[in-house]
Structure 1
Amino acid sequence: MKCSTLFYAAAAVLAGSAAAVNTTSGEPVYTGSKSFPTSLFPSMYYMPKKMEQEPRPVVTRETGGQFPDLLNNPYHLPTSPPANEVLMPSPTEQCEDLDQVIHEVWELFGQLFRKDKASDAPLCNICRTALHSLQRIARADPDLVPDLMSSICESLNIFGALGWKQECKRTLAKNVYGGSITQVLSYANFTGDAPDAQTICAQIPKLNICDFPTETLSDSFLNDWFRGQRHPPQHVVDHWKQLRERAYGEGYDASKKLRISHITDLHLDGRYFVGGESECSWGATVQCCRINSYNSSVYHGQFVHGQLQPDQIAAPANYWGASRCDTPWSLLANSMEALRAVGGDNGYDMTIFTGDLVAHDDLYRYSRDFVKYSEQSIYDMIKSYLKNTPFVPTLGNHDTNPENVMAPAAPLPDGTSYKWDWDLDYVSTLWKNREWIDQENVNDIHKHHGAFSVKPLKNLRVISLNTDFWYCVNMYNYIHSSNPDNSGMLRFLTDELIEAEKNHERVWIIGHVLSGWDGKEALDRPSNLFYQIVSRFAPHTLAAVFFGHTHEDQFEVFYFNDNGESKSTSQLTEHAVSVAYVAPSITPYTNLNPEFRVYHVHPETYEIMEFDQYYTPIPEFEALVKENKNHGPVWRKLYTARELYGDFHASVKSHTYRAGVALNNNRWPKNAPLNGTFWAALTDEMEQRPELVKTFSEVQTGNNPMASTCTSKACVVNNICYMRAGSASLGHKCSDSYSTMGRG
Structure 2
Amino acid sequence: MLSIVAASAAAFSVPGFAEPVAVSALGPSVFTAPGAFPTSVYKHYYNSPTATSAQPQPVISDPVSHRIYPFELTNPATLPKNNTHDPHILPPKASSGVLLESAFAQVLSIASNPTFGDNNCARCQAALQVGKFLALAAPEEGPAFAVRVCEHFNFNKDCATQFGIFQLGSVVTQVIANADVGGLDGQMICSHFLSGLCPAPTATPLNLTNWFAKPKPNPLPAAKKPSGKRMKVLHLSDMHIDPRYANGAEANCTSGLCCRENNFNTQSPQKIMFPAPRFGSYLCDSPVSLIVSALESIPVLAGTERTGFDFTLYTGDLVSHDSENQLSRDYILYTETIMYDLLRRSLGSGPVYAALGNHDSYNQAQDAPHALNGQLADQFSWNYDHVAALWELEGWLPHSAVETARAHYAAYMVRRQDGLRVITLNTDLWYSANFFNYINMTNPDVSGMLRFLTDELQAAEDAGDAVWILGHVLSGWDGTNPLQNPTNLFYQIVDRFSPHVIKAIFFGHTHEDQVMIYYANNATAISAQTAGAVGWIGPSVTPLTNLNSGFRVYEVDSGTFEIVDAHTWKSDVNAFPQLDSQLAHGPTFEYEYSTRDAYGANIPGWGPNDPLNATWWHLVTEAMEADPSLVTKCTFVDRGFPPLQKFNTFQGKGSVRSPPCTGDCVAAKICYIRSGSVPIAKQNCQTGFGSVQ
TM (norm. structure 2) is 0.81
* Counterpart Cα distance in 1 of 2:661 and 2:500: 35
Q: Cα RMSD between the aligned structures?
A: 2.2
Change (3 A) 1:95 1:413: farther
Q: Corresponding residue for 1:688?
A: 626
Residue 647 of structure 1, CA deviation: 2.7
Contact 1:199 1:213 (8 Å CA) reproduced = no
- Which amino acid in the other structure matches residue 224 of structure 1? N
Q: Is it true that 1:337 corresponds to 2:296 in the alignment?
A: yes
5+ unaligned residues in a row in structure 1: which ranges? 1-90, 112-116, 161-166, 300-307, 650-662
5+ unaligned residues in a row in structure 2: which ranges? 1-92, 632-642
Residue 206 of structure 1, CA deviation: 6.0
Residue 671 of structure 1, CA deviation: 2.5
Task: Name the count of aligned residue pairs.
Answer: 584
Kindly, what percent of the aligned residue pairs are identical?
Answer: 36
Q: Is it true that 1:294 corresponds to 2:285 in the alignment?
A: no
Residue 187 of structure 1, CA deviation: 1.1
Q: Corresponding residue for 1:583?
A: 538
Contact 1:223 1:230 (8 Å CA) reproduced = no
* Counterpart Cα distance in 1 of 2:384 and 2:204: 30
Q: Corresponding residue for 2:5?
A: none
> Which string of whole-angstrom CA distances, capped at 9 and with x for unpartnered residues, describes residues 523-564 of structure 1?
111100100000000101110100000000001110002xxx
Q: Corresponding residue for 1:560?
A: 520
Contact 2:479 2:679 (8 Å CA) reproduced = yes
* Counterpart Cα distance in 2 of 1:634 and 1:683: 32
| Match 1:637 to one of 591, 597, 603 | 591
Q: Corresponding residue for 1:703?
A: 654
Change (3 A) 1:291 1:109: farther
* Counterpart Cα distance in 1 of 2:202 and 2:690: 23
Q: Corresponding residue for 1:324?
A: 283
Contact 1:615 1:702 (8 Å CA) reproduced = yes
Residue 259 of structure 1, CA deviation: 0.8
Contact 1:123 1:210 (8 Å CA) reproduced = no
Structure with larger RCO (C-alpha < 8 A, sep 6+): 1
Aligned pairs for 1:380-395 within 5 A: 380-395=341-356
> Which string of whole-angstrom CA distances, capped at 9 and with x for unpartnered residues, describes residues 712-741 of structure 1?
x11111111111110011122323311110
* Counterpart Cα distance in 2 of 1:610 and 1:397: 29
| Match 2:617 to one of 639, 662, 679 | 679
Structure 1 segments of 4 or more deviating over 6 A? 93-98
Aligned pairs for 1:106-145 within 5 A: 106-108=108-110, 120-145=117-142
Q: Which has the larger radius of gyration?
A: 2
Q: Corresponding residue for 1:216?
A: 205
Q: Is it true that 1:270 corresponds to 2:243 in the alignment?
A: yes
> Which string of whole-angstrom CA distances, capped at 9 and with x for unpartnered residues, describes residues 639-687 of structure 1?
11011112327xxxxxxxxxxxxx24xxx32122111111111111111
Contact 1:555 1:723 (8 Å CA) reproduced = yes
Q: Corresponding residue for 1:182?
A: 173
- Which amino acid in the other structure matches residue 717 of structure 1? A
- Partner SS, residue 209 of structure 2: helix
Q: Corresponding residue for 1:24?
A: none
TM (norm. structure 1) is 0.75
- Partner SS, residue 315 of structure 1: coil
> Which string of whole-angstrom CA distances, capped at 9 and with x for unpartnered residues, describes residues 355-381 of structure 1?
000000111100000000100000011
Aligned pairs for 1:533-552 within 5 A: 533-552=493-512
Residue 202 of structure 1, CA deviation: 3.0
Q: Corresponding residue for 1:65?
A: none
Q: Is it true that 1:621 corresponds to 2:576 in the alignment?
A: yes
Residue 456 of structure 1, CA deviation: 2.9
* Counterpart Cα distance in 1 of 2:100 and 2:266: 43
| Match 2:318 to one of 352, 357, 360 | 357
Contact 1:265 1:587 (8 Å CA) reproduced = yes
- Which amino acid in the other structure matches residue 654 of structure 2? N
Contact 2:104 2:149 (8 Å CA) reproduced = no
Residue 347 of structure 1, CA deviation: 2.1
Contact 2:232 2:310 (8 Å CA) reproduced = yes
* Counterpart Cα distance in 2 of 1:455 and 1:159: 45
| Match 2:221 to one of 221, 233, 238 | 238
Residue 99 of structure 1, CA deviation: 5.0
Contact 1:371 1:399 (8 Å CA) reproduced = yes
Q: Corresponding residue for 1:197?
A: 186
Change (3 A) 1:478 1:345: same
Change (3 A) 1:296 1:424: same
Residue 109 of structure 1, CA deviation: 5.3
Residue 141 of structure 1, CA deviation: 1.0
Aligned pairs for 1:25-36 within 5 A: none
Change (3 A) 1:118 1:186: closer
Q: Corresponding residue for 1:464?
A: 424
Contact 1:288 1:325 (8 Å CA) reproduced = yes
> Which string of whole-angstrom CA distances, capped at 9 and with x for unpartnered residues, describes residues 65-118 of structure 1?
xxxxxxxxxxxxxxxxxxxxxxxxxx9x9999875543222344579xxxxx99
Residue 571 of structure 1, CA deviation: 2.2
| Match 2:359 to one of 398, 403, 406 | 398
Q: Is it true that 1:480 corresponds to 2:437 in the alignment?
A: no
Contact 2:203 2:679 (8 Å CA) reproduced = no
- Which amino acid in the other structure matches residue 201 of structure 2? F
* Counterpart Cα distance in 1 of 2:537 and 2:210: 31
* Counterpart Cα distance in 1 of 2:382 and 2:99: 39
Q: Is it true that 1:729 corresponds to 2:690 in the alignment?
A: no
Change (3 A) 1:612 1:452: same
Residue 576 of structure 1, CA deviation: 0.6
